[in-house]
Amino acid sequence: MTGPALGALTPIVRDLVGVAAPELLAGEAAEPVPGSYLLLLELAEPLTITIRKRDWRLPAGLFVYAGSALGAGGLKARLTRHFRKEKKQHWHIDQVTMTARAMRALCFQENTECELSARLLASGRFSAPVPGFGSSDCKSCPAHFLEFSGG
């Protein structure tokens, strides 16, 4: 599933991370290899999510989630799960993927999710709307879930 605004975000993200990456519109197209990914998401309406017993209000707009899939099944298994609308909520990002109007994914085998997040944040075109979202096991990143501010 893809929306027009999300289609415009894809080349911006590719340029900012500076690394060529295959673009996927569904997780089934991913390879069953370990790697990192950027999940591009479009919210049509504001969404309230709960993280660590606190509610956070996300505005309608464009977001990017940096993740990794290093275990069995690799990128294929992880992205196939992210693209499913019907699933048991396991990760915080599930609250967003289950309601997103559109999603795309970019896959990377040479870059970590922290490197990808850092490049997007350094551009000044992204911010972390929920501190620690997606980076609870990371000591250096403010978040791995970022909001696109344009610019």
26 in a structural domain: yes
61 in a structural domain: no
In this prediction, residue 123 carries a pLDDT of: 94
56 in a structural domain: no
In the chain, the number of structural domains is 1
* Residue 127: φ, ψ to 5°: -140, 165
50 in a structural domain: no
Q: How confident is the model over 109-134, as pLDDT tens digits?
A: 889 999 999 999 999 999 999 888 87
Q: Is the pLDDT of residue 2 over 60?
A: no
Question: What is the C-alpha to C-alpha distance for residues 148 and 84, in angstroms, rounded to an integer?
Answer: 23
Average pLDDT, the chain: 87
In this prediction, residue 151 carries a pLDDT of: 61
140 in a structural domain: yes
Q: Is the pLDDT of residue 23 over 80?
A: no
Global pTM reads: 0.90
Q: How confident is the model over 47-79, as pLDDT tens digits?
A: 999 888 889 999 999 999 999 999 888 999 999
Query: Residues with Cβ < 8 Å from 35, sequence gap 6 or more?
Result: 68, 69, 70, 74, 75, 107, 108, 109
81 in a structural domain: yes
93 in a structural domain: yes
95 in a structural domain: yes
In this prediction, residue 57 carries a pLDDT of: 94
Which domain, by its residues, includes 38? 1-45+69-99+128-151
pLDDT class of 4 with cuts at 50, 70, 90: low
